[in-house]
Structures are given as structure tokens and as C-alpha cells.
Structure 1
Amino acid sequence: MAKLYHPIQKRIVRRSLQGGGELAKRMSLASPPDASPLLARLYQSRSVFTPEDLGRSLNELPAPSLLKGMDAMTAELEAAIRGQKSIMIVADFDADGATSCAVAMRGLRALGAERVSFIVPNRFTCGYGLTPELVELIFRGGATPPDMLLTVDTGIACHAGIAAARARGMKVLVTDHHLPGESLPAADAIVNPNLPGDGFPGKALAGVGVIFYVLSGLRRRLRESGWFEGGRQPPNLAELLDLVALGTVADVVPLDRVNRILVHQGLQRIRAGRACPGIRALLEVADAKRGGAATTAGTLGFTLGPRLNAAGRLDDMSLGIACLLADDMNAAKELAERLDGMNRERKTIEAQMQADAWAMLRIGAEPLPRQSDRWSGSAAIVFDPAWHQGVIGILASRIKDRLHRPVIAFARGEDGLLRGSARSIAGVHVRDVLCAVAARHPGLIVRFGGHAMAAGLALEESRLAAFTEAFEAEVAGVLEGVELEHAVVTDGELPPDDFHLDTARCLRDAGPWGQGFPEPLFDGEFDVLGMRIVGEKHLRLTLEVPGAARQVEGVAFFVADPPAWLGCRRLRAAYRLDVNEFRGVSNLQLGIEYMEPVS
């Protein structure tokens, strides 16, 4: 869905083709036999040059054995299964963590583990990941502790929590994808594609992708050791790929070749009606029309992801995990409706926080396209003691989108520390920036972790001013050569003959598109034949196709000041080709990402 949040007039930049004549020749060999010249050009501009780059079969995935630590990990899990040991999954409280937990629970049970449970830290009381506080919670009330803790989408920075768990006699296995620090925690086994010396080619795996790979490696070990003899059947782990696709897209990791295969296979299951009840229920609650063949990676990221994340932001992600683990459709639907209600509440909270932030930054709350709103600072840091800790990540993203600068939004945590959520722009690796600040100013940051585009941190409230100065200075030092002007990158003009429903379907099926493998976006000038406001904030347009005497419908969502556009007779737009499904009828529709009037 296009969201015209940006207050600043943008520059439309056309994506260049990668490579010269020889690469173009290889591109022609890589394209499917029925690929159109348009599709071949789009693939080439995304650095796809070989048939292997376009593969979607599970057989084309790299082997689990390529992941460093896989042997130790699967040996520990096999021993736990054979010894009927109790395994507790420790999950993160976002959509990647929730899907990772559901995959681990379902997969381990299918492989023969009989005593599997999960725990997810409450972000307001326990903090992030496997902490000493979470270990104490496991033992609270004289509860029988598990024999083994298995972290999913977390753990690589949890040194103290892992040490506390092992001191209590539990084994700890870590599966994670976040970047490790200078030292690794003292876990019994670690699998993370970003470990030093790891030879796995898919460095962009989400946490859910890592645990899926661990289960695949474990199934192979169990098969080779004879576990499935005597009547046991090896499970079809492909049945978990709907969850893998959801977590991968929702975590906004780059859709490299490995992730594209995982997401494509998961989407195929969802489109065929073979998703788990929880995903089907979330689709129904959100909008039934988004299900079935119309489900795309965008549906997972913009429709399902926010509803699942709402539980972890406002309350307890256990609710989201329960929805994904439900085997009964009625139970899943009830949980999905509760998640949908939480997401509506989250939007209300977020709207107030945005208004507070714009006032704090001395920028008007109404997102008008004013050149005077250009941001001159190197970064933006905002804090309000009344802000909701679970919503600061979204707030930081909104501010980053508008200012096109690295942003950190802070809220006050239950322990009195400030909890910050950082979002960055291309060219500024925010975790490396935090690492540099920590090195230059020892003790300034209590803890931090994350990756290039997003990170989390904690610091003492009294040190916020010092941290702000240090962070802005560090960002300023790396901004040279970084594109700071707001730009919309497109694939150029679309030929008149390609304004067709078949082209839109072809592009939809040519993905999955997403982070690092962007959905095709085109630009051009159109005569406006008609325009009306729908739903107060959106515009529905009738446009004349350039170079052709025919019309096409378009829609622009969340437009700033819709009535001001009603007199526009010609505009330049950046748009996607969409398939609009309504009452069983499919039509071509332009999804307008950005537009500006042409005099």
C-alpha cells in the first residue's frame, strides 16, 4: 500500500541497468523462456544474471551443513529428543520471534520431541532476549525448570542471561541472525549465519529462517541415525514455510536468493489454502479479499505483520504465538480478532506520539510537500517520558521516512533506563555507529544490539544529552557520500502496451519482491480525467495512459490534504501495477506511491 507520509517534495530517480553488453547477454540466458523484455530488464536492474538467481525450488537452497555450528546444534537437540528432555523455546517479542517460536514448537514436536514449551520475555519487565531476569522468572514459584533453553531470533548478545541459565544447570542453544559483538556468549551451541568464519551464502536469513534450517539439519541427522525406523515418519518441514515467509518479510531482511526461495514457497502454500489456521485467521480478520491467489509478500509485511507485532508492542507476544500455534480455526479466529483490536489501539497511540514528535522537532504535523521542511541535522533523537515503549520502533521508522536521517526514539523503561529504538538509512550502518559511540565513550550506553538498518539500546536518562551529542557527531562523520535528498527510485517509463492486467499479474508472480529486491515501480506523466476523495484520506483517479487513447484507474492512499488535489489536471506519478480484485472481477489499477502536479 502506498503511503504518502513524506512532507518533502521528492526527486524521481530511475534505476540503472547493472553491467554492460556481456552481462546483458547472460541476462537473456537467465530469463525464463516466456519472460517479456520488460521482466528481463527488471531482473537485470536487480543484478539477476544467472538461471540460479531465479530459482525457486527448495532443492536449490544451500545445505544446512554449511552453517557453522550445525553439527553441535543438531547433536544437542538429538540427544534431548532421544532422552525425552524438556526443551523451552526463548523467543523475541516481534513477528520474526513469534514465527520463529511457532516453527520451533511445531517442528520439534513433529521430529519427536515430547516436552516442548516456550517463554517470551515481556519487553516492559524483562527486557530483550534471554536475560538473568527471565532466568529467574523460569524458576519462580518452584517450577520445574527445563533441561534445555533454545533461543530463536535472539541470544547472540545475551551473555549474562546465558551464563545465569547455565549456572542453574540448563543447557543453552542459540539460534539467531543478529550481528555478534566482539565476543560470543558461552552457549552449548550457536547457529547464526553472521558468525565469523561462517560459510553459509545466505547471510540475510531472518531468525525464522535460521531455526527452519536447524530443523532441516536435525531431520537429516535423525534420519541418518535411524530415528525414523520402526514406524516413525520423517515430517514434511515444508509445511512450516508459511510461517517462515511471514517472519522473513515482517522482519524486513533483504530478499536475497535464499530468502526469495523461502518466501516464494511459503506464499505458494498460503495461496493454495494450506497455511496454518493462525495465518488464515489473520488474513480473514484483516480483509478476506487479501487471501488466496492475491496474497503477496506485501500482504505479509503490511497486513499480517503489524497485527502480529501489536501483541508484543502493547502486551505480551504469547498471544501472537498462541494464534500461530492454534490448530482449530475457531480458536485461531478469536485470537486473530484480539490481535486486530490491539493493532487498532496501537495506531491510536502512534498517532499521538507522532504529533508529539513533530512538535518536538519543530516540524508541522501535517505532511505537506514543502521544500522548507528539509532536515539539516545529521540525525534526530526524540524522547518523551509519556511515550509507550512498545511503539517507539514504529515512531522511529515514521520519522526516518520523513526526515531521511538516522533516528532514535526513546521511552522510559520499567527499570528507569531509557529504551531506544533506532532506524537508519542506506549508507549508515546504525549498529556500527552505536559500536563506535560505545568505544569512544565507555559506559555511555548500557547495552545495544541490532543490525545495519535497525537497532535497540538502553542508557541512563541523565546521559541522554551526552549520548545525543556523541551519536550525532558519529553519524555526521559517516554521512559523506550518502544520498540525503529524498528520492523515489523507479524503473522508468512503462510502454503503453504494458498497461495491461496480464502485465500486472506477471509482475506479481515474478517476485517475491521486498527489501533488497524491490517491487517494480514506474514513473510517468498522466492527464487526469477524473479524481475523487475516498475514505477522507485517499484519492481515486482516472488517468489517460501516456501515448494511448485509453484510461486506467489509480489509487493514492494517505494523501496530504486531498481536497487540494482536486483541481489537478496533469501529474507526474511513481506507481506500481496492481491487480484490483472486487466482487470476483479483476482489473488493472495503478498503486500510486508518489505524485506531484505538472503545470
Structure 2
Amino acid sequence: MVEIFVLSHKKIDHLKRLIQNEYLYINVLSNLGIKQKRSVKNALWEVHEVSTRDTTALMQKFNLPEILARVMAARGVTLDTANDFLHPFLRSSLPDPFHLLDMDKAINRIETAIYNNENIVIFGDYDVDGATSSALIKRYLATVGINVAIYIPDRVKEGYGPNTDALLKLRKNGTHLCITVDCGTVAHEPIIAAKNAGLDIIVIDHHLGTEKLPDAVAVINPNRIDEDSPYSYLAAVGVAFLFIVALNKTLRNKGFFSKIAEPDLMQLLDLVALGTVCDVMPIIGLNRALVHQGLKIMSMRKNTGLRILSDILEITERPSVYQLGFIIGPHINAGGRIGQSHFGAHLLSTDNSDEAYDLSLKLKILNDERKTLENEATKEALMQAETLVNSGVNFIMVTGSWHMGIIGIIAGRLKDQFYLPTIVISISHEIGKASARSIPGIDIGAVIFLAKLEGLITEGGGHHMAGGFSIEKDKIDKLHTFFQSKFINSTGNKTIKADGVITVSSINITLWKQLQCLEPFGAGNPEPRFIISGAKIVKPEIIGENHIRCFIADTDKTIRAMAFRAVGTELEKALMQNSLVTILGKISVNYWRGNENVQFLIEDALND
């Protein structure tokens, strides 16, 4: 690990003169024996240590600026993988979808349903991954002349995944085939009941399951226990895309498109990108290609719902991972959290502008209500969490009577602040509904799976970084004891990795544009972070509810900076002193009235 130290202003000036044309001063910093410090967020900073040989090789072969080659090398990009990283096209990344177990069975069954004009219903989860997966399949089938319905269960009344009452009702209403998306892998009893009633089920999912598979026609899931697919990192919408690729290929080979135009599957990638980003899947390999191409499709604004929602939210910049994850995604999610669960899926699948406008307005109102509920509940949960952390726990588990739709957000907030696996339980009528978030190295989905095997929870599931479950109130203490043994390796010691140390003077539009060559950013390919040592903070002020705007300067240049959600934190104290601070953050561009202005987004700080 390369340690980061606080530099005196004389040494910073000396470094500028020594390396005037370089952005990064990593090697010089690593040799300075000055006292190491924790940040105001109680984190240790670490600069990626990168081989000079690897960096030089990437620079020479691909004609890259030094900063891009260094960042790529830090992310494990090699000479063999660099071309796909820089040019993530589907034609080189897309696998044969039939490599997934049961894909052939699923395609045979839906092909029969198409030719026999059977009634098909898509049963989706109520989050963004479920909404995009549902809309993706519905939109594809509509292009080949097949109209299907979407069913999204109510989060409070029905809970997660297929339930017996809903499936039997679908069968009673004439449904022959039900395709579950982003759920179904552990729905053993409901699927058996559906089968006995004559309703066939195809499961398309990505969550962990047990060795026993549900009694469905097909279970397509790269995370099946018996599956050896290398694409375990796909979101459910990514798996759903492979499903329609397989179906489209089969229909083409059988002459289905001799009389109608073959659908352009690329036009559906905006939905794949949205679901992948919002489910926080790693932006690597196939996901990187899906998101990269999906953002391009989204910029064409062909999806009626996405276009109208973006207009209502006054999104004017080109689509980005940030917009998907932090602006569009939360609004799509709002219906499933505190409103009507089907709003998101219906918005993404409709071509009716009036319906899309109505749904977009409702989702915006619901998201505003969600923010109010979230702020109040987070304060209560934070008080519990602080007491637990002060007692030296290795995970956080808090309980309350909060709205079920916001406990996942609260879990994420607490996890980010304390860097510990976090479980938030909402209790009503002696039953707790929980949402969990984890940190790298702690597989929360696997722990939930083990808790279910122990009989501590009634139902639940998840993946490495997130999960959820239901539990009887009188078993919460036993579950707490169980978690204590499973989270023993969780220390709460957070390390923030930076890609280098730069000066204010080196930050400009050119540098920002160079870094954009590494997009799309996200889990597995984080947006580059940099350290500015001895930055002078000028004119700090609070804007909005909890943000800080200021300027940062050195002897040669001044640029604008922002620190989001900083009010009431130690970061606010560091910045409002109007003095010299060592800061960590990202280079960004602010668009205002047609102008591009470079800025620095401050995430953490060390007091000089």
C-alpha cells in the first residue's frame, strides 16, 4: 500500500516545479516519511500502486496519455484486455446464450406459446432490475406481434417474488405461461402450486438459490448452484437480454421473420443499462458492453417513458451512469417503495405519451414523499447505529416501524457511513421485513441463505452486496447472535483508493475528457479519484438542504468545487474553516447555459 501524507506547502510548490508537466506525483509521495492520518470520514487513503512497465506498455501500444494508462493498469487491464476495455462492443462480448442451463427448455416453451397464441404474463420484482427486465421482454414480444401482461407484486401486501395466491389468480384468469424475472429461484411452494394448477413457469433470475431448484419448466440463472457460466455478475435484466437474444435467434432460424421485420435488439439496451446500473452490478466484461451501448441508445430518447421522465426531471445532459443510478433509478423505484409497484414497469413499457406523462408525474411525487420518509427514518436508525458502533460491533442491525419501502435506502446510508454490513428491519404485527447491504469481502446473500437453512428467517435471498428477508419478531435476537459469527471478519476499517495526486492547476476540460474514455464507470470500474494536497478553500457556503459549494485554489488557478450531503458531517467542519485542506474526490464538469465548467467533487478531507 502506498501511504498518503500531508505535504507542506513548500514541498508542494517544489513538486510542481520538479514535475511541471505531470498530473501525478505518486512515486514522490510514497517516499516521503511524513505522519499518516485518518480522514474526516475515518478512512485511510491509498493510492493504487501501479507497475511502470505495465503503464508504459499500455501507453505505447494504444497511444494513451499516461494518466489513462495508469488508471487502466490499476484496474487490472492488460495488453490482452485493453482493446475490449476501451471499445466495449457487444459483437466481441456477447456469448452464446444457450450456454446457460435450461435456456433451450425456456425457448422451446415460449416458442410453443407464441405459435399457439397462449396467454403470457411476466411476473417481475418491484425494483428497477425487475421493472427493466419486465419491460424488456414485453417490448421485445410486442415487436413480434405478441401482447403480454406484466404483474408486479405489492411490496407490503405480497412481499418479494412469486406468491401462490397471485399465480393461481393468473391461471384462473386464463394465463398459460408465466415468466418470472429478477425473482423465482427460491419460490418453491408457489411454483409447485402453479404447476399443479396448469400454469407453466419460466424463471429468469440472478439471485442465489439452494441446491434444489423450483419445479419450473426452466430456471435460467447464472448463479444456480450447478451452473458454471462465467456471467454470474449479470443483473436479471442482463439475463433477460440473453433470453431474448436466444429467442430471436431461434425465431430467425425457423423463418419467423420472413413476413415481418426482425426486431433490432440493440434498441432495447437502454433498459439493460438502467437495470444493470441500478442493481449495482459490476461494470466489467459483458456488463461493460451492455451499459456502454445502452447509454448510447438512451441518448437517442426512443423509449417513451424514459424520455418523458427525463424531461420532467429536467435532465439535459447526455445520459450517464450517475443519472441512471441517482436520478432516474430512484424515481422508477419510487412506485415499488411507497406507491403502486407496477408504475415503473408500465412506464418503461408504454408507448402512450399521455400514460407516460401521468406515470412520470406520479413517480416524481412519490419520490419526493420517499425522501421525506427517508430523512426522518434515517435519523432514528442513525441513533441506534451510533450506539452499536461505539460498543465495538462488527455489523449493524437496527429495528423500527419504518416504511418497508425505504429500509433498503437506510441500510445503504448506514453501510456507507460506518463501513459495516448493515441490516435494517421494519417490524409490523410481530413480523419483521429486512433489507441488508454489505461491503466488499462480505457476501450478504450467502449469509442470508445460511440463516434460512438454520430456520431463523422465513424467506429471503440476495447477492454479494445486498439482500432481504422476513423474520418472526421473537427470532431477531437469535438472528443477531448468528450474524455475529458470520461477520467476524468485518472490521469497519475503510480504505478509499485514489488514482493519484494532482494539483488544482492540472484540472481542466482536457483532463476530464481524457478520463471519460474509461467510461462507463460503476462497481468494478470506479470513476477515478484524485487527491489534492494543501488546497486552499475559498468562499465555502451551504446550498440546498445539505450541500457545500466552494472554490479550491493553488498559486496558479482557482476552480469550483462541490461537496454533496456534507452538511452536519465532519467534512463540513473541514471545509467551512476557509483554510488549507487536503481533499479527495473526482473531476467533473458542470453544464450551465450551454457552457462546460470543470469542477472538483469533494468526497473526503484531511485537515492540514
TM-score normalised according to structure 1 size? 0.89
From 484, 505, 511, the equivalent of 1:503 is: 511
Aligned with 2:297 (options 269, 283, 293): 269
The equivalent residue for 1:530 is 539
Q: Are the counterparts in 2 of residues 296 and 508 from structure 1 also a CA contact under 8 Å? A: no
Would the aligned equivalents of 2:274 and 2:329 in 1 still touch at CA under 8 Å? yes
Q: 1:339 and 1:24 mapped to 2: Cα distance?
A: 46
CA distance in 2, matches of 1:315, 1:529: 43
Q: Distance in 1 between matches of 2:580 and 2:390?
A: 26
Q: Which moved more, 1:194-203 or 1:442-451?
A: 194-203
5+ residue gaps in structure 1?
1-5, 365-372
Measured after TM superposition, the shift of residue 463 of structure 1 is 1.2
Alpha-carbon separation, structure 2, partners of 1:153 and 1:554: 39
1:265: Cα distance to partner? Answer: 0.6
Can you list the C-alpha shifts for 1:258-303, whole angstroms capped at 9, x where unaligned?
00100111111122x33402112222222333x4x2x211110011
What displacement does 1:135 show?
1.8
- Helix, strand or coil: the match of 2:524? coil
> 1:143-162 to 2 correspondence within 5 Å?
143-162=172-191
SS in 1 for 2:380: helix
Deviations 1:476-517 (A, max 9, x none): 2xx0xx563133221121366641112212323421000111
Change (3 A) 1:483 1:275: farther
From the superposition, tell whether residues 375 and 543 of structure 1 become closer, same or farther in structure 2 (CA, over 3 Å): farther
Cα distance in 2 between the residues matched to 1:26 and 1:187: 51
Report what 1:351 is aligned to.
375
Change (3 A) 1:328 1:153: same
RMSD between superposed Cα atoms in Å: 2.2
In the alignment, what sits opposite 2:474?
462
- Contact 1:66/1:199 (CA < 8 Å) preserved in 2? no
Given the alignment of the two structures, is residue 133 of structure 1 paired with residue 140 of structure 2, yes or no? no
How far apart, CA to CA, are the structure 2 residues paired with 1:66 and 1:54?
26
Quick check: 2:537–2:575 contact (8 Å CA) kept in 1?
no
Tell me the alpha carbon deviations over residues 289-324 of structure 1, each in whole angstroms, 9 at most, x when there is no partner: 3x4x2x211110011111111110112221111211
Distance 1:592 1:241 in 2: 32
Q: Is the 8 A contact 2:548 2:567 kept in 1?
A: no
2:450 — aligned with what?
Answer: 436
One-letter identity of the residue aligned with 1:58: L
Change (3 A) 1:436 1:326: closer
**Counterpart position of 1:179:** 208
C-alpha contact (below 8 Å) 1:124/1:413 kept by paired residues: no
**Contact 1:505–1:579 (CA<8 Å) still a contact in 2?**
no
Decide whether aligned partners of structure 1 residues 236 and 222 sit closer, same or farther in structure 2, where only a CA change above 3 A counts: same
CA contact 2:132–2:237 (8 Å) conserved in 1: yes
Moved more, 304-313 or 316-325: 316-325
- Tell me the SS of whatever aligns to 1:220: helix
Q: Is the 8 A contact 2:529 2:586 kept in 1?
A: yes
Aligned to 1:379: 395
CA contact (8 A) 2:168 2:197 kept: no
Aligned to 2:18: none
Find the partner of 1:281 among 308, 312, 324.
308
> Are the aligned partners of 2:41 and 2:604 in contact in 1 as well (CA < 8 Å)?
no
Cα distance in 1 for partners of 2:262, 2:422 equals: 47
State the Cα deviation string for residues 216-263 of structure 1 (Å, max 9, x = none).
11000001011112x211100111111111111000011111001001
Q: For 2:333, which of 309, 315, 322 is the aligned residue?
A: 309
Determine which of 353, 366, 370 is the counterpart of 1:329.
Answer: 353
Question: Who is 2:74 aligned against?
Answer: 45
Q: Is 1:553–2:560 an aligned residue pair?
A: yes
Say which of 156, 163, 167 aligns to 1:124. 156
- Contact 1:285/1:337 (<8 A) preserved: yes
Cα pair 1:254 1:515 within 8 Å, conserved: yes
Contact kept in structure 2, 1:449 and 1:456, CA below 8 Å: yes
Gap change, CA 1:144 and 1:566, over 3 Å in 2: closer
2:599 to 566, 573, 589: 589
How far 1:388 sits from its partner (Å)? 0.7
Identify the residue that residue 9 of structure 1 maps to in structure 2.
42
Structure 1 Cα separation of the partners of residues 469 and 57 of structure 2:
45
Identity among equivalent positions (%) equals 31
| SS of residue paired to 2:77 | coil
Q: Among 86, 93, 113, which residue is 2:126 paired with?
A: 93
Following superposition, the deviation at residue 28 of structure 1 comes to 4.2
1:425: Cα distance to partner? 1.0
In 1, Cα distance between equivalents of 2:409 and 2:358? 26
1:595 CA displacement: 2.3
8 Å contact kept, 1:124–1:389: yes
From the superposition, tell whether residues 394 and 116 of structure 1 become closer, same or farther in structure 2 (CA, over 3 Å): same
Q: Give the stretch that moved more between structures: 501-510 or 491-500.
A: 491-500
| Post-superposition offset of 1:438 | 4.2
* Contact 1:99–1:246 (CA under 8 A) maintained in structure 2: yes
Q: Does 1:208 pair with 2:237?
A: yes
Show the counterpart of 1:421: 435
CA pair 38-496 structure 1, distance change in 2 beyond 3 A: farther
The 2-side partners of 1:532 and 1:124 are apart by 41
CA–CA separation in structure 2 for the residues paired with 1:340 and 1:111: 32
**Of residues 88, 95, 103 in structure 2, which corresponds to 1:62?**
95
SS in 2 for 1:288: coil
Whole-angstrom CA distance in 1 between matches of 2:84 and 2:119? 41
Matches within 5 A, 1:538-549: 538-545=547-554, 549=556
Counterpart secondary structure, 2:487: helix
Q: Partner letter of residue 446 of structure 1?
A: T
- What letter matches 2:209 in structure 1? P
Distance 1:376 1:255, change over 3 A: same
Shift in alpha-carbon separation, 1:201–1:551, aligned structure 2, 3 A: same
1:158–1:410 distance in 2 versus 1, CA, 3 Å:
same
Could you say what secondary structure the match of 1:456 adopts? strand
Q: For 1:593 and 1:359, how far apart are their aligned partners in 2?
A: 23
SS of structure 2 residue aligned to 1:333: helix
**Which moved further from structure 2: 217-226 or 393-402?**
393-402
Superimposed CA distance per residue, residues 56-111 of structure 1 (whole angstroms, 9 cap, x where no aligned partner):
21211222222222211111111111111111000000000001110011011213
Partner of 1:367: none
Structure 2 length-normalised TM = 0.88
Within-5 A mapping of 1:289-308? 289=316, 291=317, 293=318, 295-308=319-332
Q: Which runs of 5+ in 2 are unaligned?
A: 1-38
Distance 1:455 1:536, change over 3 A: closer
CA positional deviation for 1:137: 3.9
Q: Is the 8 A contact 2:584 2:602 kept in 1?
A: yes
1:592 deviation in Å? 1.3
Aligned length: 562
Distance 2:203 2:143 in 1: 20
In the alignment, the residues of structure 2 paired with residue 204 and residue 565 of structure 1 have an alpha-carbon distance, to the nearest angstrom, of 38
Work out which of the residue numbers 218, 227, 239 in structure 2 matches 1:189: 218
Q: 1:275 to 1:201 in 2, by over 3 A?
A: farther
Conserved? CA contact 1:389–1:413, under 8 Å: no
Say which SS state the counterpart of residue 172 (structure 1) adopts. strand
SS in 2 for 1:81: helix
Residue 594 of structure 1: how far off its partner (Å): 1.6
Q: 2:128–2:278: 8 Å Cα contact kept in structure 1?
A: yes
Give the residue type in structure 2 aligned to 1:357: A
Q: Which residue of 2 aligns with 1:27?
A: 58
3-state SS of paired residue (2:158) = coil
